[in-house]
Structure 1
Amino acid sequence: MNLELDRPLRLARDTDAAQLAELVNFAGEGLPLHVWTGLASDGQDPWDVGRMRQAEKARQGKIVVVDYGDGVVAGLTGYEIGNEPEPIGEDFLALFRPLQELENLALQSWYVNVLASYPEHRGKGIGSRLLDLADDIGRSCGLSRMSVIVASNNTGARRLYERHGYDEVASRPCVKEDWDTDTEHWVLLMKEL
């Protein structure tokens, strides 16, 4: 990401990994921790897996955070979805199948993969500021559409996106397998830039 960011926005550093893992888990409705638990070696803390993964993304310059000087309070991660759908073969993990099906409906958009803040920092305009930045990133990529997938029961997030012009395009039932969640559906929201 080649961005000029003004405080309190900055690119994440690998030293932010603990906060980034927590934010990703908030945004993912607990699914990330479930996945990290499956990836952890015997005796390894699943949070260590998440921290390592987020540290790598930070080193690659893929995460923008909000930091007022006392550490990360919110973050934004996203990416461009190309113009070809990702194949979903028989070996594609069932847990992720509905999410990929929805992403495949959002071709040629900038996808808001993670937008999260700590609960005590919600309702202060941080999400709106990060969504405005996401729009700028999408435009700088030459894209004319934005996309995001939210859990059907995350009404707060959905309200935020709808206030920013996103509309529901499609939904898919959540595949839970052994993941303990209240999420019933994943909902794809999109908007034109």
Structure 2
Amino acid sequence: MIPLLPPLRVATPSDAAALADLVNFAGDGLPLHLWACMAENGQDPWAIGRARQAEKAEDGQIVVVDEGGGAIAVLMGYGIGTDPVPTDDMPAMFVPLQELENLAPESCYVNVLATYPDHRGKGHGTRLLGIAEEIARDEGLSRMSIIVADDNDGGRRLYERTGYREIAARDVVCDGWKTATKRWILMIKELDRAGDA
């Protein structure tokens, strides 16, 4: 992980509740739908989400914005390799997402970028996208990728404003998830070595 200065820091397992909230915001309720599908014997889906986020935080790869009262914004991502991931045995709702990821080999994929609603409009998303680019360069990657819902107008404007361009799209497979989203859109930003493309 690259060095971070306040209000940025690496998430810890104690951030699990905020991370679950933020992941669910980013996914427009899809994460909660998946956690509910995983729940057994009356188990609380949020408890599953918090446990999963606590486990992910242990890897030390999640960046949060914390102005002193806990995590208010989050960045999660990973590098996409060169080989496409097969979709043959994948649940149908994940196939279009994976197909789009497969179109962005050797990129730094921004998997989650979210801010609590009452902290939006303060530049946290732009700041975190900049950190994602620093991480990408540090890992030797020369482009960024992100998948955004077609009805996420604010997110699309942010990504376009910071240099991302639409590359491809796939239809959403709802499989029980209640959403207005119709299409997933893959956006990519090419990076240069010195700074923003």
TM-score, length of structure 1 as denominator length: 0.98
1:164 aligned onto 2:145 = no
Q: 2: distance between equivalents of 1:19 and 1:42?
A: 25
2:126 to 125, 128, 132: 128
One-letter identity of the residue aligned with 1:181: T
Match of 2:24 in 1: 25
Report 1:14-53 matches (<5 A): 14-53=13-52
Match of 2:113 in 1: 115
Unaligned runs of 5+ residues in structure 1 are none
Q: 2: distance between equivalents of 1:55 and 1:148?
A: 23
Q: 2: distance between equivalents of 1:85 and 1:122?
A: 35
Calculate percent identity across the aligned residue pairs: 61
Q: 2: distance between equivalents of 1:140 and 1:17?
A: 27
One-letter identity of the residue aligned with 1:177: D
One-letter identity of the residue aligned with 2:98: Q
TM-score, length of structure 2 as denominator length: 0.96
Moved over 2 A (4+): none
Match of 1:178 in 2: 176
Residues 36-88 of structure 1: CA distance to partner in whole angstroms, max 9, x if unpaired? 00111211100011101100111111210000001110000000000000011
Q: 2: distance between equivalents of 1:40 and 1:62?
A: 26
Q: 2: distance between equivalents of 1:115 and 1:179?
A: 20
Match of 2:141 in 1: 143
Match of 1:101 in 2: 99
Q: 1: distance between equivalents of 2:71 and 2:143?
A: 28
Match of 1:13 in 2: 12
Unaligned runs of 5+ residues in structure 2 are 192-197
- The count of corresponding residues between Structure 1 and Structure 2 is 191
Q: 2: distance between equivalents of 1:145 and 1:4?
A: 20
Q: 1: distance between equivalents of 2:71 and 2:174?
A: 30
**CA offset at residue 11 of structure 1?**
0.4
Q: Secondary structure at the match of 1:95?
A: helix
Q: 2: distance between equivalents of 1:4 and 1:144?
A: 20
